[in-house]
Amino acid sequence: MKEIETLKEEFITYLRSREFKEDPVNLYAPINYILQLGGKRIRPILALAAAELFGEDSSSALPVAFAVELFHNFSLVHDDIMDNASVRRGKPAVHAKWDINTGILSGDMILIEAYDQLTSYPAETCKDLFEQFLKTGKEVCIGQQMDIDFETAQDVQIEDYINMITLKTSVLLASSLQMGALVAGASKQDQEHIYNFGKNLGIAFQVQDDILDTFGNEAAVGKKIGGDIVQNKKTYLYLKALELCDKNEREQLHLFYSNKNALTEEDKIKQVKNIFNSCHVRTYAEELKTNYRDLSISHLNAIQVPGKNKSTLLSLISYLDNRTA
Amino acid sequence: MKEIETLKEEFITYLRSREFKEDPVNLYAPINYILQLGGKRIRPILALAAAELFGEDSSSALPVAFAVELFHNFSLVHDDIMDNASVRRGKPAVHAKWDINTGILSGDMILIEAYDQLTSYPAETCKDLFEQFLKTGKEVCIGQQMDIDFETAQDVQIEDYINMITLKTSVLLASSLQMGALVAGASKQDQEHIYNFGKNLGIAFQVQDDILDTFGNEAAVGKKIGGDIVQNKKTYLYLKALELCDKNEREQLHLFYSNKNALTEEDKIKQVKNIFNSCHVRTYAEELKTNYRDLSISHLNAIQVPGKNKSTLLSLISYLDNRTA
């Protein structure tokens, strides 16, 4: 099995060969720009690794890998407009470097290009891929809408939150794996297992992101700690704290998250973390993460291929376990 | 052959049955809203008529008809944001009724739903439809970008303008017909003819729109005359006038279209029309329209089906000839 770094190199070489050189330049320049900004390329790596898991050469999944990376970048470009986020990977977001209209239209084009990659497969495979990828596309939009709705909703439950992060981020990871497996001719059952491996691993990663955002080490994480608290994000930590804490703490939390309090950002983070600590939400979050991690592993274990084929995907689990950023 | 009105009724009944009733309501309400605003439903009608032309029941093309109508509405929602147009079919545009973020995200969802309709066909047909519809999707985005670029470009040629309106509006009409034909099992050659019938008819309609916008009768057209002139649109009339008029008139036109002149809207329209009249651009435009109309008819004539099958599509030509609005 190829190592993750090898698969990443393979994908980046392919990506370079697929640079958009057509006119109009005002449409394609932002697309090339966002695609070259970098990132971990986790979704294409998953697609390639899944093809290898089922005994195909990773190159057979390169169009799928490009499709999922394009889709991911479409969602970044449009989400950055919606979130009014002007920085992406340390560089200006598309709508900040150009303008909102350029962000909208180039994002639309990236989405169409994403789906267009799938037409390079034979008809039966092509149809299966489209069904899977269109379902995923719709789920990602629903996840984004739920995330927006949660900002103003007063009754978000932990179950809703898990559902939102599943749709907004995990299903694309899961689909990247499943489509790689599909191209490699995996059985329906194995496709389901690899999908659920990715879905649950994605949830585990997201819960860990939430933990690191609040309890991480600033130097190790490489960004300011407490961003979720400052932005009043209804993460697992916040929702679980509301469930666990006493009436007085609950009122305080509501007050802090309504921005009706004149605290400095630093003080707000400190006070909220005090409440989180007093009701031990971190322990619950770590347990939740472990549960999803274990569920993920059990799906990988259930896949009917030689154990040695699983080494690359297993290394993703160790990456989760050792992750500090 | 069913009449156009019958096909429209058939489509509207199908559209009603496909109302989105799922959650989240904040995502689907704008989608149902824009789909119910009405309009001529010309694209779905073309898809259904094309299936009939090749001897299939129009109902076989209903998913294609829904797909092209969804795509059209996706482009309306996103274009209205880009054009800062707050009114659509006499009602508030989606981004005006809700907000820009809702317009972006619901537009994305409509685009994905559009493509998803095609998965209801068998694998081979499905792949052909996807190839056609994704190509068209990219062309529409390119057309929109060209339209945006033309606003500030100083060297737009008539050829560029025809290319832009072809991509921005005609290819979707052409594709609606071709995909209806494809579903009905038309030969590749007949698919090309029906595509070119639609493409050229679309160009003829657009040139006529340009003529009516400047020379139409306000009561008959049902909207204010001269909008293109007020907005400095580089239409065929303007570009042809630049080619035909003398140096003095050309300088005046450039001045009027740079808004560096303190004329009232009414006076600007009057002065520009004077120049248009003095170099007889309307005659050239009518001739251009007729050429595209005739080219369109010759492609319809070349299709290898019984003449009686062509009655519905031929009635579209008479509609063009008698059109005042």
Residues A197 and A112 grouped into a single domain: no
Q: What is the mean pLDDT of residues B101-111?
A: 98
Compare all CA atoms of chain B with the CA of A160 and give the residue at the minimum distance. Answer: B24
Arithmetic mean of pLDDT over chain A: 95
How far out from the chain centre does Cα A21 lie? Answer: 29
Rg of chain B on CA atoms, in Å: 20
Strands of B203-321 (E only): list them: none
Of the listed ranges A37-46, B277-286, B311-320, the least confidently predicted one is B311-320
The Cα of B28 is separated from the nearest Cα of chain A by a number of Å equal to: 9
Please indicate, yes or no, if residue B163 is contained in any of the structural domains. no
| A194 vs A188: CA distance, rounded Å | 10
The letter for the amino acid at B175 is S
Let me know if residue B182 belongs to a domain. Answer: no
Q: What is the pLDDT of residue A72?
A: 98
Least confident of A150-159, B38-47, B87-96, B251-260: B251-260
State whether B74 and B208 are in the same domain: no
Q: What is the pLDDT of residue A262?
A: 78
Give the per-residue pLDDT at A38: 86
Separation of alpha carbons A64 and A59, rounded Å: 10
Chain B: give the shortest CA distance to residue A227, in Å: 22
A114 lies in the same domain as A203? no
Q: Which of A29-33, A93-97, A206-210, B317-321 has the lowest mean pLDDT?
A: B317-321
Contact B111 A112 (CB under 8 A): yes
- Residue B35 domain flag: yes
Lowest-confidence region among A123-127, A179-183, A203-207, B315-319: B315-319
Please tell me the distance from the alpha carbon of residue A155 to that of residue B159, in angstroms, as a whole number.
Answer: 58
Give the DSSP letter string of A36-97. TT----HHHHHHHHHHHHTTS-GGGGHHHHHHHHHHHHHHHHHHHHHTT--EETTEE-HHHH
Residue pairs spanning A and B at CB distance below 8 A: 110
As given in the structure block, the two tokens for residue B153 are 């470009």
Q: Are residues B49 and B109 in the same domain?
A: yes
Which residues numbered 102-161 in A keep a CB inside 8 Å of some CB on B?
A: 104-105, 107-109, 111-113, 115-116, 118-119, 123-124, 126-127, 130-131, 134-135, 137-138, 141-142, 144-146, 148-149
User: Inter-chain contact B105–A137, Cβ cutoff 8 Å?
Assistant: no
Picking from B113, B138, B163, the residue at the C-terminal end of a domain is: B138
Least confidently predicted of A100-114, A210-224, B83-97: A210-224
* Dihedral angle computed from the Cα positions of residues B97, B103, B109 and B110, in that order, rounded to the nearest 10 degrees: 70
Question: Total domain count for chain B?
Answer: 2
Enter the pTM of the model. Answer: 0.96
Are B264 and B133 in the same domain? no
User: What is the span of the domain harbouring residue A225?
Assistant: 187-325
The verdict on residue B55 lying in a domain is: yes
pLDDT at A51 exceeding the cut of 60: yes
Question: In which element (H, E) is residue A146 found?
Answer: helix A123-152
Question: Who among B27, B116, B135 is closest to A142 (CB)?
Answer: B27
Q: Could you tell me which residues are beta bridge partners of residue A88?
A: A91
Per-residue pLDDT at B151 exceeds 60: yes
Is the pLDDT confidence value at B325 over 60? Answer: no
Distance CA A323, CA A220 (A): 10
Residue B168 has pLDDT above 70, yes or no: yes
pLDDT at residue B158 greater than cutoff 90: yes
Domain assignment present for residue B289? The answer is yes
Are B126 and B201 within one domain? no
Rounded to an integer, the average pLDDT of B78-102 is: 96
- The pLDDT of residue A106 is 98
pLDDT of residue A242: 96
Asked if the peptide bond before residue A24 counts as cis, ω within 30 degrees of 0, the response is: yes
CB A218 within 8 A of CB A225: yes
| Bridge partners of residue A92, in order along the sequence | A87
Q: A154 lies in a domain? A: no
- How far are the Cα atoms of A90, A217, A318 from residue A178, in angstroms, in the given order? 31, 34, 21
Question: Cβ contacts (< 8 Å) between A119 and chain B: which residues?
Answer: 127, 130-131, 134
State residue A219's pLDDT score: 78
Compare CB distances from A105 to B23, B82, B137 and report the shortest one's residue: B82
pLDDT, tens digit, 9 for 90 and up, residues B196-230: 999 999 999 999 999 999 999 887 777 788 999 99
The answer to whether residue A140 scores a pLDDT higher than 90 is yes
* DSSP-assigned letters across all residues of B6-45: HHHHHHHHHHHHT---PSPHHHHHHHHHHHTT----HHHH
Last residue of a domain, one of A73, A105, A138: A138
Question: Residue A160 and residue A146: Cα distance in Å, rounded?
Answer: 9
Q: For residue B81, list chain A residues with Cβ-Cβ distance below 8 A.
A: 100-101, 104
Asked if A122 and A6 sit in the same domain, the reply is: yes
Average pLDDT over residues A28-57: 96
pLDDT digits (tens, 9 = 90+) for A276-306: 999 999 999 999 999 999 999 999 999 999 9
Nearest residue of chain A to residue B127 (CA atoms)? A123
Q: Is the pLDDT of residue B50 over 60?
A: yes
Residue A32 to residue A28: CA distance in whole angstroms: 6
The pLDDT of residue B324 is 65
pLDDT at residue number B237: 97
- Chain B nearest C-alpha distance from A142 (Å): 7
**Same domain assignment for residues A195 and A130:** no
pLDDT on residue A261: 73
**DSSP states along B169-187:** IIHHHHHHHHHHHHHTT--
Amino acid at A121: Y
Q: Are residues B101 and B203 in the same domain?
A: no
pLDDT-derived band at A113 (thresholds 50, 70, 90) equals very high
**Percent of chain A residues past pLDDT 70, beyond the cut:** 99
Least confident stretch, A25-39, A137-151, A154-168, A308-322: A308-322
Indicate if the pLDDT at residue B7 is higher than 90: yes
What is the C-alpha end-to-end distance of chain A, expressed in Å?
A: 26
Q: Could you tell me the sign of the dihedral formed by the alpha carbons of A136, A138, A139, A145, in that order? A: positive
pLDDT over threshold 60, residue A325: no
Dihedral of CA atoms A160, A166, A168, A173 in degrees, nearest 10, equals 180
Does residue B174 lie in a domain region? no
B90 and B208 share a domain?
no
- For residue range A234-248, list pLDDT tens digits in order: 999 999 999 999 999
* Position A181 in a domain: no
CATH code where residue A271 lies: 1.10.600.10
Report percent pLDDT > 90 for chain B: 90
**Are the beta carbons of A26 and B149 separated by less than 8 Å?**
yes
B111 shares its domain with B202: no
- Inform me whether the pLDDT recorded for A102 exceeds 60: yes
CB contact burial B125-156 (16+ within 10 A = b; e otherwise): bbbbbbebbbebbbbbbbbbbbbbbbeeeeeb
Structure tokens at A252: 């305080």
Task: Give the pLDDT of residue B99.
Answer: 97
Strands B87-88 and B91-92: antiparallel
CA distance B127 to chain A (A): 6
Q: Is the pLDDT of residue A192 over 70?
A: yes
- Best of B100, B141, B163 to disrupt the A interface (most A CBs within 10 Å) is B141
Residues A194 and A295 both lie in one domain: yes
How far apart CA B94 and CA B76 sit, in angstroms, is: 9
pLDDT band at B319 (very low <50, low <70, confident <90, very high): confident
Cβ neighbours of A145 in B, within 8 Å: 24, 26-27, 105
Strands (E), chain B: 87-88, 91-92
pLDDT at A263: 87
